[in-house]
Structure 1
Amino acid sequence: MPINGICGDKRPLPPFPAADRVYRVDHGARMTHPPPTATTPPSWHSGRMVTASRGDGMRRANLALVLRTVHREGPRSRAALTEATGLNRSTIADLVGELVGDGLVVERAPDPVGRVGRPSPTVAPDPRVVAIGVNPEVDALDIGAFALDGAVVARERLPQTALLTPERTAEIVGERVGAWRRGLLRGLRPVGVGVAVPGPVRAADGLVRTAPHLEWTDAAIGALVTDATGLPARVGNDAALGALAEYLFGAARGAHDVVYLNGGASGIGGAVIVGGTPLGGAGGYAGEFGQNRPGIVDAADRRALDGVLEDEVSRARLLAALRLDAVDDSVLAEALASTDDPEAHAETARQRRILATALANAANVLNPAVIVLGGFLATLAALDLDGLDTAVRSQTMPACAEDLRLRVAELGQNRLLVGAAEAVFEAELFPTP
């Protein structure tokens, strides 16, 4: 089942979650789970929601609605679910019972404090259900396991000295998932693997058309990952998945018209959400802001003859100015904030000037409510967010600037992995007829 804007589905994204529903990191070696009950164990299976093959289409849609609600908005009482979904109490009780039996939600006693009358049980996502998120890049492979209740169960960054091939990527993912199943994921239930790729992904089938910095062309990475892990795989453009994560849980929460730009080791990608619906384009390739020719006012700012935005606003150029090798975004941010090197300051200012023009162009064309910057673009912006905002507004039509907000991604280095995990949850647990 295609996911919103990742593999071609044009359905509007679901309503944004409450402000407290962001992915949280579990700093312990293992996530703590509720003890098994004395009831019959749920009918866990190889991946797809058991109920997806039972009953009529309306029932499947209602099951998906309830599960999606508690996943994205947090635990809710049955009474609150009745109000949120518009379904009656008996229907909610029936649906929750089926989801409990399928091992997708748990029910627990409510907090009695401040309550009058008989309290309604609280329905929460089963934290033993997890999805794997993967992001291959030119310098590292990031991989994480994310629980249905929002916890980060495991995360690793695996530096690479050679470009990852699709085959090697799948091999590493298979090795890490296998090791986690014997350790961190023991007793948990992985339902799939999501792969966030730095390049255009065909909406119809998840084929990576090109990831130029990885030197991938027409790569069927999803099939390779499935073969390596035995789990269903979903593949999407990294920026599209980052936009999904920030829309649902991060800096774009509550907005329905969003431009997202992601800056990584491979360059700059982007995604657009219009009226709550991802803008995928005819093939699913919309949002490649990094391939636009930038408007450079001062010729002295140009570094690449006839270069595109990602040639001028570049992580590699920042690292070179700082005299750093491959580092993650947190180290880059610390280095930029602490440096007193005039060359580094000049390069930072140059890139911010060019970025401001690119963002103003996006604002003029798309009139978003929010522009979110992720990766090294967030690092550049955070050095002086107000200053960048002023520079963007000075080049934006006044009408388009009125309600515009410029924000940095809130999910940090987890944003792409969270988006990849969401693609799995949407496809495997929330299918609609």
Structure 2
Amino acid sequence: MTDPSAAEGVRQRNLARLLRLVHLEGPLSRARLTGATGLNRSTIADLVGELVREGLVVERAPDPSRRVGRPSPVVAADARVVAIAVNPEVDAVTLAAVGLDRGLPLRERIELDHLLTPDETAALIAERLAQWRAGELADARVVAVGLAVPGLVRAADGLVRNAPHLRWTDVPLRDLVETATGLPTVVGNDATLGAIAEHLFGAAAGFDDVVYLNGGASGIGGGLIVHGMPLLGAGGYTGEFGQNRPGIAAESDRRAVDGVLEDEVSRARLLAAVGLHAADEPVLASALADAGVESEAADEVARQRRILATALANAVNALNPAVVVLGGFLATIAAADVPGLTELVRAQAMSANAEDLEIRVASLAEDRLLIGAAEAAFAELLRGPTA
């Protein structure tokens, strides 16, 4: 006799497979889903029908010009299913609505003149969510909130152990936001979530061994993908590259006595070099470009590139990644000459470790942390679509 619970478990896993496929790859025909899963056509039709009834996917007619013979309906994640993604920083907080279809219908950056407290952060999220639900998200199904925080976040419960630049210590941020919004909430380190986003959808797609470094207003963090999976560590605290002490070959390049990497390779130093107090990444990149090659700003970029190259060589020696992805202001200082930076790294790394190395800038640009936060928020739904 067939165990009903076992059969239902198989069905739930198959529903999750289909939903994850259309979430990760975009709209797919039923025929493509049949080929990707090995399930028969009638089973695919039944599973898709259930996901449609649950409001998680939509079906539409295919483009007849692209197929000979009987067309197969196209299945897509429903854009009305959204997560709220949040990235609190020292100079701004950025919020977005991110669709299960990977669309980003709403995005807002709020400049700050003070450090947000955790309670203020939760209240701000709840306020914006209420506004959006009364307007642009009136027809949406908001499933969860995801936060990308620049600091140490305990993987087990989302406790922010230490976000030094925000001055948050042992903050139960998940609980605060859940209470304020009434929504399930997931909290993660910003760079770890950025690494996941770039691995799934961006510059690291197709690579199983990735080092990702994120440069933001709070410093430098990192994320690791090993054998295709995020490497979190015992407590969830891996990737703190910014706290490593860099090797600096020329003493004239040193700016911080006994400083760590993020003291030397610094967004604040770049802003100062172009005379800005605060700016988002596109504005900073434009200001650096406008400064020209014979400028204090160009000299500062070159100095930071030299120190960054040494730090990356150490990471390449230790981890042997296939690709290093740089996001935030690190992408800005790399983008002018990525091959040149790659050669600087190779010159300081073990030749075997770096022989096939690629260095890339984050292709998701300013949205990378928000997409990573949304991915964390969608995780429970993707594991159990009809649970």
Task: Give the TM-score normalised by structure 2.
Answer: 0.96
8 Å contact from structure 2 (residues 157, 174) kept in 1: no
Deviations 1:240-261 (A, max 9, x none): 1000110111100111100000
8 Å contact from structure 2 (residues 346, 355) kept in 1: no
Find the aligned partners of 2:161 and 2:133 in 1 and give their Cα distance. Answer: 31
Find the aligned partners of 1:196 and 1:339 in 2 and give their Cα distance. Answer: 32
Find the aligned partners of 2:6 and 2:375 in 1 and give their Cα distance. Answer: 23
Find the aligned partners of 1:167 and 1:71 in 2 and give their Cα distance. Answer: 33
8 Å contact from structure 1 (residues 67, 430) kept in 2: no
Q: Which residue of 2 aligns with 1:163?
A: 115
- CA drift of 1:318 comes to 1.0
Question: Pairwise mapping of residues 10-409 of structure 1 onto structure 2 (< 5 A)?
Answer: 56-340=8-292, 342-409=295-362
- CA drift of 1:427 comes to 2.0
Find the aligned partners of 2:265 and 2:21 in 1 and give their Cα distance. Answer: 39
Q: Greater CA deviation, 126-135 or 57-66?
A: 57-66
Deviations 1:359-402 (A, max 9, x none): 11111111101100000000010122121111111111111112
- CA drift of 1:118 comes to 2.4
8 Å contact from structure 1 (residues 192, 428) kept in 2: no
Deviations 1:186-213 (A, max 9, x none): 1111111100000011111111111000
Find the aligned partners of 2:101 and 2:7 in 1 and give their Cα distance. Answer: 26
Q: Which residue of 2 aligns with 1:425?
A: 378
- CA drift of 1:88 comes to 2.0
- CA drift of 1:352 comes to 0.7
8 Å contact from structure 1 (residues 279, 286) kept in 2: yes
8 Å contact from structure 2 (residues 29, 73) kept in 1: yes
8 Å contact from structure 1 (residues 262, 375) kept in 2: yes
Structure with the larger RCO, 1 or 2 (CA within 8 Å, 6+ apart):
1
Find the aligned partners of 1:167 and 1:112 in 2 and give their Cα distance. Answer: 53
- CA drift of 1:93 comes to 1.4
Q: Greater CA deviation, 369-378 or 382-391?
A: 382-391
Matched residue pairs, number?
381
Find the aligned partners of 1:64 and 1:208 in 2 and give their Cα distance. Answer: 30
| Inter-CA distance 54–335: structure 2 relative to 1 (3 Å threshold) | farther
| Inter-CA distance 130–236: structure 2 relative to 1 (3 Å threshold) | same
SS in 1 for 2:187: strand
SS in 2 for 1:155: strand
Q: Greater CA deviation, 247-256 or 56-65?
A: 56-65
8 Å contact from structure 2 (residues 155, 236) kept in 1: yes
Deviations 1:212-260 (A, max 9, x none): 0000011111111111211111110000100011011110011110000
Find the aligned partners of 1:346 and 1:112 in 2 and give their Cα distance. Answer: 56
SS in 2 for 1:429: helix
- CA drift of 1:115 comes to 3.0
Find the aligned partners of 1:112 and 1:271 in 2 and give their Cα distance. Answer: 43
Find the aligned partners of 1:86 and 1:167 in 2 and give their Cα distance. Answer: 49
Task: Show structure 1 runs of 5+ residues with no match.
Answer: 1-52
Find the aligned partners of 1:318 and 1:209 in 2 and give their Cα distance. Answer: 29
- CA drift of 1:87 comes to 1.9
Deviations 1:272-309 (A, max 9, x none): 11110111111111111111010111111111111110
8 Å contact from structure 1 (residues 142, 157) kept in 2: yes
Find the aligned partners of 1:56 and 1:294 in 2 and give their Cα distance. Answer: 54
Find the aligned partners of 2:161 and 2:384 in 1 and give their Cα distance. Answer: 26
- CA drift of 1:429 comes to 3.3
Find the aligned partners of 1:118 and 1:376 in 2 and give their Cα distance. Answer: 50
8 Å contact from structure 1 (residues 54, 60) kept in 2: no
Deviations 1:39-71 (A, max 9, x none): xxxxxxxxxxxxxx9973222211111001001
Q: Which residue of 2 aligns with 1:3?
A: none
SS in 1 for 2:90: coil
Deviations 1:7-65 (A, max 9, x none): xxxxxxxxxxxxxxxxxxxxxxxxxxxxxxxxxxxxxxxxxxxxxx9973222211111
- Return the match for 1:413 from 362, 366, 369: 366
How well do the aligned residues superpose, as a CA RMSD in angstroms? 1.6
Find the aligned partners of 1:138 and 1:182 in 2 and give their Cα distance. Answer: 29
The amino acid that maps onto 1:349 is A
Find the aligned partners of 2:158 and 2:46 in 1 and give their Cα distance. Answer: 35
8 Å contact from structure 1 (residues 242, 262) kept in 2: yes
Task: Show structure 2 runs of 5+ residues with no match.
Answer: none
